[in-house]
A and B are shown apart, each in its own frame.
Chain A
Amino acid sequence: MAIPDPNTVPLRPGFASRMLNWSTWVVLVGLFVVSLQQTGFDVEALTSGSQDFVRFFRRLVPDWTALPQIWRPLLETLQIAYLATLMGTLLGLPLIFLASYNTTVNTPVMWVARSILTVLRSIPDLLYAAILAPILAPGPLPGVVALTIFTMAVLAKLASETVESIDPGPLEALRAVGAGRNRVIVYGVLPQIAATMTSFVLYIFEINVRASVVIGYVGAGGVGFLLLRYLNFFDWGGVAALIVVIFAVVLLIDLLSVWARSRLI
């Protein structure tokens, strides 16, 4: 190899790429300013509203006599989240493998699977619940369906990247043994992704618990339903008690999930 000339000057990035950098910042700042104006974001209104804020929070004294009413819908919320996580995972698994280039059947199937996932993912969970609640009659069922679809879509997105980044060596070895696609997946892919997948599923369960509170609001059962009722009847004591309980439960589940995930791998 030739000895480099000590007077060599490193190449500067070209004019075009420097302009691209600048224009990116200009666009980002521009969007910020336009969004501020058009949403009518007003710092003064924020501060002048603080009077109402204080008054509102004064009323939020938990009325613990509401507790017997709360625990049943709360349990329902957790059940919705649990069912949806489990069913979404089971239904999502085949899609994950079909959507990953190294485990799919063939290229057209892969693109179909990827397209389905993209469409499913582009619709927010709250929208699913809002559409499904009137169709399936308000209650836990639309909640379960909405969050199942959400779980499938999110898990498939996260996991298919994991599947595509695994060590291809064992898969080649299993093909060489004469194993078909399903056996290659069970013996070669699953052991490599099991820990990461479990961590994803726990994380999605966390999200689902929170989401199932919110979707109750549009008639999809659980504790959100109750929250809506309390608010409609100006039952501030009930609202406060409910918020405290939800906070405690979500926090507990988050902690459990973090602990469980830290024990993996």
Chain B
Amino acid sequence: MSAHISFHDVEVTYPGGLKALKGVTLDVSRGEFVVIVGLSGAGKSTLIRTVNNLVVPSRGDVRIEGASVTQAKGADLRRMRSDIGMIFQTFNLVRRSSVLRNVLAGRLGDVHPLRGLLGLFPKADVAYAHDCLRRVGIPEKAFVRADALSGGQQQRVGIARALAQKPSIMLADEPVASLDPPTSHAVLRDLKRIAREEGLTTLVNLHFIDMAREYADRIIGMRDGLIVFDGTADEATDQAFEDIYGRPIDESKDLRGDS
């Protein structure tokens, strides 16, 4: 089977000269739940942002089912992005808008631009947005302002917004780094369940070793802009993590703990 997402020798150099990715080649199959681990600055965030072209590689390209997202421009790029959901460490909700409006924003890539601008979403889209909130367990919060929710609830709105895109790929950049341990587990469980149900190809950045082992089908280890580990959760031994992190495991920093 051909890869769903494939990275071809991807390099990213930021203005100022920082080389965040130094040639990454990687294939991800459809439906895989991949967790990317590594220290801050290893290039995890940069890597997943090349998938929806929020970060543009300076060399190489990223393809989705063979079509280059790196080369895509304008309407083509927007159409490709609408098939890729993304959730963020800081949730990135519009805090002053209602939960429903935040979720409906996920439909913007598919709805006619003018309808989107005027907020005239088709009834089916509004119903679907409510449905997405039900899927993440907070249907009753639809008309509450986003900043009135707890962190865990806000991240669920983030997931609902991504889900509203009806995507085939889900990207998650440190989705639980701003949450406490029990909430972290609950959010990741939801994410994994939804990915299963929808058959989503999922890339999640995490830096906690125990969580990576618990939720990943496959673990990718990154260090200094390169992939240094690629294997199943079972293969990711303590020794493997010490290689990825380039230092002994520090339980207080690298483990999240149980729910």
Contact = CB atoms under 8 A, between A and B. Distances in A.
Do A and B truly interact? Answer: yes
Contacts of A176: 52, 54, 81, 84, 86, 171
Nearest to A195: B96
A174 interface: yes
Interface stretch (A47-55, A82-90, A186-194): A186-194
Q: Which of A173, A182, A186, A195 has the most CB of B within 10 A?
A: A173
A240 B128 CA distance: 66
A179 interface: yes
B170 to A, nearest CB: 11
A182 B92 contact: no
B117 interface: yes
A177 B96 contact: no
Contacts of B78: 178-180
Interface of A is mostly: helix
B93 interface: yes
A183 interface: yes
A6 interface: no
B45 to A, nearest CB: 11
Nearest to B107: A177
Contact of A191 (B86, B94, B116): B94
A174 B108 contact: yes
B54 A186 contact: no
A172 interface: yes
Nearest to B145: A191
Contacts of B161: 173, 177
Contact of A187 (B77, B86, B94): B94
B113 interface: yes
A182 B117 contact: yes
A170 interface: yes
A194 B108 contact: no
B97 interface: yes
B109 A173 contact: no
A186 B86 CA distance: 20
B91 to A, nearest CB: 8
Contact of A178 (B95, B96, B108): B108
A188 B146 CA distance: 13
A11 B14 CA distance: 35
Contacts of A172: 54, 88, 92
Contacts of B189: none
Interface string B15-42: 0000000000000000000000000000
When A and B form their complex, which 6 residue pairs have the shortest distance between CB atoms, in order from nearest? A178-B109, A178-B82, A169-B92, A178-B81, A173-B92, A178-B78
